[in-house]
Amino acid sequence: MSQEKNLEYEDVRDDILSLIMEFEGCRLTAYKCPAGVNTIGWGHTEGVKEGDRISQEEADKILAEDARAYYEDMLKLVTVTLTGGMAAALTSFCYNLGASYCKNCSLFKELNKGNYAVAAGKFGDYVYAGGVKLAGLVKRRAKEKEMFERDGFPSSDAAGR
């Protein structure tokens, strides 16, 4: 069982990008996602307007910046030790739902109590967009849960990240 005390973004970047790219897909013209939000590139939403267009290079650059920012946001929400797999899964989860939403969600509440297995079981609760259960979110959450559990769970008395 691996316990990571000082995870750096570079340690988990490839896993984060792999998860996001697998489930977001890339569109170079703005579109409305299933939740009705203007989106472009690899799921980028900030400042996107209908009709916006970007290049593949721009989409990849924005993803790299966004993924790092969501990783940093996710770390601010967590008070327990994480493994690399956990950090990647939680960053993908925050990227999809927004860090401000994640702050009060049951998955993070259980995680921060040290209830790693209970938190892992919560991924499946977040498979709806606009009140509709989406097959793509079911698959994404299953993959995030798998990544979250990949390295085992730190002992519940571990402190730090």
What does the alpha-carbon distance between residue 4 and residue 126 come to, in Å, rounded to a whole number?
26
Inform me whether the pLDDT recorded for 105 exceeds 90: yes
pTM (two decimals): 0.90
67-92 per-position pLDDT tens digit: 999 999 999 999 999 999 999 999 99
Position with higher pLDDT, 130 vs 93: 93
Active site (annotated) includes residue 105: no
DSSP for 55-110 reads: -HHHHHHHHHHHHHHHHHHHHHH--S-B-HHHHHHHHHHHHHH-HHHHTTSHHHHH
- β-pair partners for 27: 41
Check 33, 58, 105, 149 and give the catalytic one.
Answer: 33
In sequence order, which residues have a C-beta less than 8 Å from that of residue 158 and are 6 or more positions away?
Answer: 3, 80, 81
> CA triplet 155, 79, 67: central angle to 5 degrees?
105
Residue 80 is encoded by which pair of tokens?
């327990």
Categorize the per-residue pLDDT at 130 as very low, low, confident or very high, splitting at 50, 70 and 90. Answer: confident
For residue 46, indicate whether it is catalytic.
no
Q: Which one is catalytic: 24, 94, 102, 144?
A: 24
Instruction: Quick: pLDDT tens for 9-64.
Output: 999 999 999 999 999 999 999 999 888 899 999 999 999 999 999 999 999 999 99
Characterize 22-44 residue by residue with b for buried, 16 or more Cβ atoms within 10 angstroms of its Cβ, and e for exposed: ebbeebeebeebeeeebbbbbbb
